[in-house]
Structure 1
Amino acid sequence: MSFGAGPDADGAADADKGVLAVDSGGSGLRVALGSAGRGALGRRLSTVPVRTGPHGIDPVHLMKQLVPLVRSLTAETDAPSPTTAVVGAAGLATLGDALRAELPSALAREFGVRTTALAADAVTAYVGALGARPGAVVAAGTGLIAVGMDLTAWQRADGWGHLLGDCGGGAWIGRAGLEAALRAFDGRPGGSAALLARAEERFGPMAGLPGRLYPRPDRSAVLASFAPPVAECAQDDPVADGILHTAARHIAESAAAVCPPGGEPRVALTGGLFALGDPLLVPLEEELARRLPHAVRAPAEGDPLDGAVRIAVGLAAGTLDLPHEETLLSVLSPE
């Protein structure tokens, strides 16, 4: 896939093709509208996460949020109507059947989109961070997934959601911190008085926490909201520090599981989790150096929405050169 270069004279028509890029994750929906020749011309954000129902990620709820954002961007930019759309979605690999079945036709009806690519958010994170280079990217926010590529195939690790995995992610750290708080509340070993105090400040009396947390549809985001207090306590509290060291080990294990074994692949980190700073990043860099001595650490060039824009531009221009895999990156036409 060629990134950054504009079309030549023979590709002038491709440059005028409208592109729509979407990043759907645990914190909400981000949208970019633009063209194949000029990239993103405008961006919008909804802070309401797309619902997950019995059939997986809900395409109707996604479209309900997406339509007004696109209409607003269309009115405020000179972007052409999108003929190509790329939707990067958290949980696509395991919860994407309804999106694959319904979203291309919905986008065609609403906006005239003729070609839709559905990508796991880890793939858009990868492309945003590294482009088409071989390597591994850990995308971590509320959840966590690692994706690697050797230019011929994708590899993924974790991304199993906050109940079964996402080890080392924001919800995992927050849940571990709350467990330590509850251990202190009960007087059990392994508790943290510091985390108990922070938890009571944020959530109120601990005895009522399950009733306030379990029924919430956004409980993974609520758990992740406690990750920053864990990091803030880590300097003076050994329990909090231990949680972050364990998170760093989990993250590095996922990166090592997907990183190409030969050459000098690049490894990048992307996502809001890494804003926790040194309490997480210092042990993580040590773990990565130990487990991936052949890899080159690289700063992320962009975020998942940038990756979705790059894929959309390449798809519209006919230069997309990334491995296709149904549950991670697939190109669909409306029925």
Structure 2
Amino acid sequence: MDGPDSPDAPDGLVVGVDSGGSGLRIALADAATGTVLGSRTSREPVRTGPGGISAAHFLEQVLPAVRALREPFGARPVLAAAVGAAGMATLGDELRAGLPGALAEAWGVRRLALAADAVTAYAGALGQRPGAVVAGGTGMVALGTDLVTWRRADGWGHLLGDCGGGAWIGRAGLEAAMRAHDGRRGGSAALLDRAEKRFGPVAGLPGLLYPRTDRPAVLASFAPEVGHCAPEDPVAADILVRAGAHVAEAAEAVYPAGPGAAVALTGGLFGMGEPLLAPLRAALEELLPHARTTAPEGDPLAGAVALASALATGTLRLPVDATLLRLFGEAAPPERPSGRKPVS
């Protein structure tokens, strides 16, 4: 197969898309090198409906953006595309049913990857090497691979998991504020003060918070306040120690067998800095003493572009998975007859 440096590498374009809770990011890149040639951003998240993530709303935003991005490049074809979407694993049925045909018709694209956002975060952070990536923002999910299979930990949402993520930290901080308000043990006067400056009297928090559909984002908005208080407030500091332990435990759960694989942290959560990173590093050193911690090479949009470029050049090494990373068109592996072993 032709790699990106081969003289026979394809002369075309690829499209990468990163779809999340804050909107859409779209990039057009050179197929052979993965060099981004232009990008567009939409602040409107793709809607969800009875069929999951809306393919129609996705296409309404992506098709005009890619049309505009392609104009300066004449007739250069789109050889491959990769879409990473939050919720793809559990809410992606409509995208998987509708996008392959729609994108083939619109662009003539014959190789398509639809991936969970954790996969594009992985590809952006570590490329196509074995390791573990923790993606932290409002939520938290860890993904690891030995290049044969994927392992996932957490990412179960703010009610069932996302332990150590932004919503988890914010909720723990607000609980400490409520304890201080009540005079119970474990309260933090510093966090109570910051909560009331941000939200008003804390007795009104249940009425403000519980009816909202964006409750995880509201909880996560308080996480930076916990970080600000942590250097002087032992309750806030302990919350971040526990958050760091949760993140490290998720990384440990997905880390591939054998020492020396890389671990990367990606996402806005880790912009909190040393109040979170110091206890997290300590927890990682305890649980994964032989791991190599590395800075992420790129973000999830870079990961989507890298996946699309790998499809175009026939160099994809990351494992295919029915829900995490699924391929369509010429890139799709041949289906095997049900109940029969493949011929060796």
Q: Same fold by TM (over 0.5)?
A: yes
CA–CA distance in 1 between the matches of 2:305 and 2:132?
20
CA–CA distance in 2 between the matches of 1:75 and 1:34?
13
CA–CA distance in 2 between the matches of 1:207 and 1:81?
59
Distance apart, 1:101 and its partner CA? 1.8
Q: 2:284 — aligned with what?
A: 288
Structure 2, gaps ≥5 residues long? 331-344
Q: 2:341 — aligned with what?
A: none
* 2:266 aligned partner, one-letter code: T
8 A contact 2:146–2:257 mirrored in 1: no
Are 1:266 and 2:248 matched, yes or no?
no
Q: 2:22 — aligned with what?
A: 27
- Per the normalisation by structure 1, the TM-score is 0.90
* 2:325 aligned partner, one-letter code: L
CA–CA distance in 2 between the matches of 1:206 and 1:70?
46
Q: 1:284 to 1:99 in 2, by over 3 A?
A: same
Count of residue pairs brought into register by the alignment: 329
User: How far does the alpha carbon of each residue in 1:206-240 deviate from its partner, in whole angstroms, 9 at most, with x for none?
Assistant: 23333333333332222211111110111111111
What secondary structure does 1:320 align onto?
A: coil
What secondary structure does 1:113 align onto?
A: coil
Correspondent of 2:326 among 282, 305, 330: 330
CA–CA distance in 1 between the matches of 2:40 and 2:104?
20
Q: 1:132 to 1:60 in 2, by over 3 A?
A: same
8 A contact 2:124–2:303 mirrored in 1: yes
Correspondent of 1:176 among 172, 177, 181: 172
* 2:255 aligned partner, one-letter code: C
User: How far does the alpha carbon of each residue in 1:252-287 deviate from its partner, in whole angstroms, 9 at most, with x for none?
Assistant: 000000101213111111111100000000000000
Moved more, 93-102 or 275-284: 93-102
CA–CA distance in 2 between the matches of 1:149 and 1:101?
27
Q: 2:140 — aligned with what?
A: 144
* 2:86 aligned partner, one-letter code: A
Correspondent of 1:120 among 116, 122, 125: 116
8 A contact 2:31–2:79 mirrored in 1: no
8 A contact 2:11–2:76 mirrored in 1: no
Distance apart, 1:306 and its partner CA? 0.9
8 A contact 2:32–2:312 mirrored in 1: no
Q: 1:240 to 1:261 in 2, by over 3 A?
A: same
Q: What is the aligned-residue identity percentage?
A: 63
Q: 1:192 — aligned with what?
A: 188
8 A contact 1:19–1:82 mirrored in 2: yes
Correspondent of 1:10 among 3, 8, 11: 8
What secondary structure does 2:257 align onto?
A: coil
CA–CA distance in 2 between the matches of 1:27 and 1:247?
23
Q: 1:214 to 1:50 in 2, by over 3 A?
A: farther
Correspondent of 1:156 among 152, 155, 168: 152
* 1:154 aligned partner, one-letter code: W
* 2:193 aligned partner, one-letter code: A
8 A contact 1:148–1:258 mirrored in 2: yes
What are the within-5 Å matches in structure 2 for residues 204-223 of structure 1? 204-223=200-219
Distance apart, 1:200 and its partner CA? 2.0
8 A contact 1:7–1:15 mirrored in 2: no
Distance apart, 1:74 and its partner CA? 3.1
Q: 1:187 to 1:38 in 2, by over 3 A?
A: same
- Per the normalisation by structure 2, the TM-score is 0.88
What secondary structure does 2:258 align onto?
A: coil
Are 1:307 and 2:303 matched, yes or no?
yes
8 A contact 2:138–2:167 mirrored in 1: yes
Q: 1:164 to 1:109 in 2, by over 3 A?
A: farther
The two structures, once aligned, show a CA RMSD in angstroms of: 2.2
Are 1:92 and 2:93 matched, yes or no?
no
User: How far does the alpha carbon of each residue in 1:96-134 deviate from its partner, in whole angstroms, 9 at most, with x for none?
Assistant: 222222222333344443332111111111111111111
Q: 1:275 — aligned with what?
A: 271
CA–CA distance in 2 between the matches of 1:158 and 1:267?
16
Q: 1:79 to 1:164 in 2, by over 3 A?
A: farther
CA–CA distance in 2 between the matches of 1:313 and 1:68?
21
User: How far does the alpha carbon of each residue in 1:292-324 deviate from its partner, in whole angstroms, 9 at most, with x for none?
Assistant: 012111111111111111110010112212210
8 A contact 1:91–1:159 mirrored in 2: no
Moved more, 145-154 or 188-197: 188-197
Q: 1:318 to 1:26 in 2, by over 3 A?
A: same
Moved more, 19-28 or 309-318: 19-28
* 1:34 aligned partner, one-letter code: A
Q: 1:239 to 1:80 in 2, by over 3 A?
A: farther
User: How far does the alpha carbon of each residue in 1:31-90 deviate from its partner, in whole angstroms, 9 at most, with x for none?
Assistant: 111220242111222233333334332323333332343344334677945342111112
What secondary structure does 2:8 align onto?
A: helix
Q: 1:242 — aligned with what?
A: 238
